[in-house]
Structure 1
Amino acid sequence: MKPATVGLPVLAVLTLLLLARCVAAPSSHSAAGHGWPPVAATSQSQAAPTSATYNATDVAWLQLIIPMTRQALPVFDAAPRRTSNPLIVQLAAQMGNEHRAQLRTLQSLLRRAGVPDVNMHAGHNMPGMVTIAELGDGTRTKDAAFDRFFTEHIGEYLRQSVSLAEGVQGAGADRDTKAFAVTVGRARAADLDRLTGAPKATLVGR
């Protein structure tokens, strides 16, 4: 997972970056290694919408948030097997159910745009996305080590989800997609509050 390198004051720049252009991740996690700042929002890394109500930002948000969500689900699913921490298990169960329901709606919105559901970010190291390598390493840990993995990676996933949802609300065009971005942003902000609001000692186990 590439760490966040910008904050809300430059959210528009972050959103354009993630929604317009992504490149394969180098060994370094530096922002400069990923072609920042972005080029124009007509990058070939995203498919053009066929529905007139969508613009490139709507589609690119969907094409990013869908794989981000998919790659977080195995982390939620692993919790009951990898930790006995009741708080982590409870949070994982709640978020897993919520995010699966959100994923179905996101996929429906992408279909309505007339764009295939293809992971255009496979192999890319995007902010907030749990990578395949991280997933493999993290879901082999147990107890306190898994609790730390869960808190760190799901926390970053939720933070980036909220930022991206806010960005598409301002730059998107499709009414339904923008409305669902509000829903996703609020729900994941609430998830983040539950995750970060718990006492640290209970999140990282005993």
Structure 2
Amino acid sequence: MRALLLAVVLVATGCGAPAVGTPVPTDLSATDLAFVDLVIPQNESALAALALAGRPGSALGPVVRKAEDRYRSELAQVREVLARAGKAESNQHEGHDMPGMITAAELAAVEHVQGADFDLQLKSLLRNQFEEARTVARAELTSGTSKPVLEVAERIDSSRAELLALLGGGRQ
């Protein structure tokens, strides 16, 4: 149900849909493009949060090391899909406070926290991001059509489940 709601919101707000008059590459549906357009800012915001966990004393090292590699790999994959489709990154979600996006304000707030509270707050941000990334990936798996994009969605869904387990909880 949540995936359907996300798809409805994306279509209703125009998020992910190509601009009027912009041809959609035949191998990418509007759903595929919407998914790719969400993966990029979600992964970039998560990478910014993961970079904070490199500080001495953070217990999130195992999660960070695993997540960073996966996020970078996924970014490379979706950017390659866009390039092959002749589509530029849209950056249409810039400045949006959407589920799964870790905002600059959230990063700034966590950055100034110390000790166990730092790990607790960062863990909460990451858990929310991992869960929402799974929701978006599952929407793509339900409605997407592009094989390469579906493969990324499948990787994200399984990867975030593993990362949630490493965090010690969250919905699976």
TM-score scaled by length of structure 2: 0.87
Q: CA deviation at 1:158?
A: 0.3
Q: Distance in 2 between matches of 1:184 and 1:49?
A: 27
The alignment of Structure 1 onto Structure 2 pairs a total of residues equal to 167
Q: Which amino acid aligns with 1:89?
A: G
Residues 1-206 of structure 1: matches in 2 within 5 Å?
9-17=1-9, 19-20=10-11, 39=12, 43=14, 46-47=17-18, 48=22, 50-81=24-55, 83-86=56-59, 88-197=60-169
Contact 1:51 1:112 in 2 (8 A): no
Q: Distance in 2 between matches of 1:142 and 1:108?
A: 38
Q: CA deviation at 1:11?
A: 2.1
Seq. identity, % = 26
Change (3 A) 1:84 1:192: same
Change (3 A) 1:137 1:10: closer
Cα deviation, 1:21-61, whole Å, max 9, x if unaligned, reads xxxxxxxxxxxxxxxxxx28xx2764255420111110011
Q: Distance in 1 between matches of 2:39 and 2:154?
A: 13
Q: Which amino acid aligns with 1:12?
A: L
Cα deviation, 1:134-185, whole Å, max 9, x if unaligned, reads 1122122222221112111100000000111011111112122112211111
SS in 1 for 2:90: coil
Q: Distance in 2 between matches of 1:49 and 1:69?
A: 26
Q: CA deviation at 1:80?
A: 2.1
CA RMSD in angstroms comes to 2.1
Unaligned runs of at least 5 residues, structure 1: 1-8, 21-38, 199-206
Contact 2:16 2:30 in 1 (8 A): no
Q: Distance in 2 between matches of 1:147 and 1:49?
A: 45
